[in-house]
């Protein structure tokens, strides 16, 4: 599930248990976090290693590739 294109993460908040596992495994510098103990959701991720998606105990993290995201006009 490696991708080199920058991505934006989405979190299905309904399933998220705010456990912080995604943050612990994230190789980004300080501050790549949301207000709910998760990785950032509105900041582009250039590393795009996707380990956060794998560690999530309830698989509630998904992503869109950032160029697609803009094309869709979101």
Partner 1 sequence: MHSIDYDIVIIGCGPAGAITAREAAQNGLKVLLVDKRQELGAPIQCSGALSANALEDCGVDASTEFVQEAVYGFSVYNEIGAETNLDYRELKPEKYGTGLGQKPLGYVVDRRRFDRYLVTLAERAGAEVWLKTEGLGYKPLDDGTCEVYLRKFNKEISIRTRVLVGADGLQSQVGKWAGLQTHIKMTELASCLQFVVDKVDTNGLLEIITGHEWAPGGYAWVFPKGHGYAEIGLGVIRTMTKENAQWHLDHFIKNSFLKERLQHARILEIQGGGVPLAAPLRTQYATNLILVGDAARHVNPITGGGLHTALTGGMIAGNFLAGLIHADQPATAENLKGYQENWLDKLGNKMWQLYHTKKEIFETKDIEQRNRMLYDTMADYFNPLSSYKKV
CA atoms of 1 and 11, how far apart (whole Å): 17
Which does residue 7 bind out of ligand SF4, partner 1, none, counting CB within 5 to 8 angstroms by kind? none
- The distance between the two most distant Cα atoms of the chain, rounded to a whole number of Å, is 32
Residue 53 or 66 having the CB closest to ligand SF4: 53
Least separation in angstroms between residue 35's CB and ligand SF4 is 12
CA atoms of 69 and 7, how far apart (whole Å): 9
Please give the residue ranges that form the binding site for ligand SF4 (CB under 6 A): 11, 16-22, 37-38, 55-58, 60-61
């Amino acid at each position: 599930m490696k991708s080199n294109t920058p991505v934006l993460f989405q979190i299905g908040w309904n399933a998220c248990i705010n456990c912080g596992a995604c943050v612990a495994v994230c190789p980004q510098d300080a501050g790549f976090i949301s207000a709910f103990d998760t990785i950032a959701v509105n900041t582009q991720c250039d590393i795009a290693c996707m380990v956060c998606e794998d560690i999530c105990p309830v698989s509630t993290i998904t992503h869109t590739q950032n160029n697609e995201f803009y094309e869709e006009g979101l």
